[in-house]
Structure 1
């Protein structure tokens, strides 16, 4: 999972997270998740 930010007309990776780690973003709203929680086992 990756949060991208638009910079000068191009998307740049801002916050990456793999399964087993926490994905944390603060803008445009606060959100946290472990990508593994989104996978169907």
Structure 2
């Protein structure tokens, strides 16, 4: 598993890199693109 990156906007849990690209919350299953996370961090 890849190191955590950021937090889920829905439940607040850590996001992990997904094999198909982007990131996924393992708690609620939501997926985020890298671009969406960059906007969130800005």
TM-score normalised by L of structure 2: 0.33
- Does 1 or 2 have the higher relative contact order (CA < 8 Å, sep 6+)? 1
Structure with the bigger percentage of helix: 2
With the length of structure 1 as denominator, give the TM-score of the two structures: 0.33
